[in-house]
Amino acid sequence: HPPHLPIVPPPARDGRAHLLLVASAPLESSPAIDRVVAAAGGDGGSEAEVLVLAPNRPRFAERWTSDLDRGQRRAQDTLVLTVASLAKAGIDATARVGDEDVVQAVDDQLQSYPATQVVLVDGPGDGATAARQLRSRLRVPFVHLVDAPREQTVAL
């Protein structure tokens, strides 16, 4: 069992807010986007720096066959959708793919990124364990959002 040490980002040197948005699922619904806008400063994020991090999650068969590229592509798709949703809301963000373990990805990123807040976005039924671990280990404010976009219906 690895030790569960506190996760402490380096201090921000520029006085701005630095939001680490961990997207286990794409950020798509208006309520979730509004919460992120509020976390980024509420004014369209003009002053906040936002970094979106998506874990590279290969499925069992992909890992078993060493086909890790599909997990990377899914993470990149999540990043594209999330950054596009943020751009539509007036927030500029940069994006990065991280480790498949969400907690490890956050820990790795916060070795150099001076986050003043961490937001985890995932789908229904995902991420409860990661959220619990992050809540107990992070030494900056943490928000867990479950994004459940409305289902698209097709009229016949």
- State pLDDT tens for residues 32-63: 999 999 988 754 444 789 999 999 875 555 55
Q: What is the pTM of this model?
A: 0.85
Walk across the sheet containing 18-23 and list its strands.
93-98, 49-55, 18-23, 117-122, 142-146
Do the Cβ atoms of 68 and 62 come closer than 8 Å?
A: yes
pLDDT over 50 (residue 152) = no
What is the mean predicted confidence (pLDDT) over 116-127? 86
pLDDT in tens, 93-112: 999 999 888 999 999 999 99
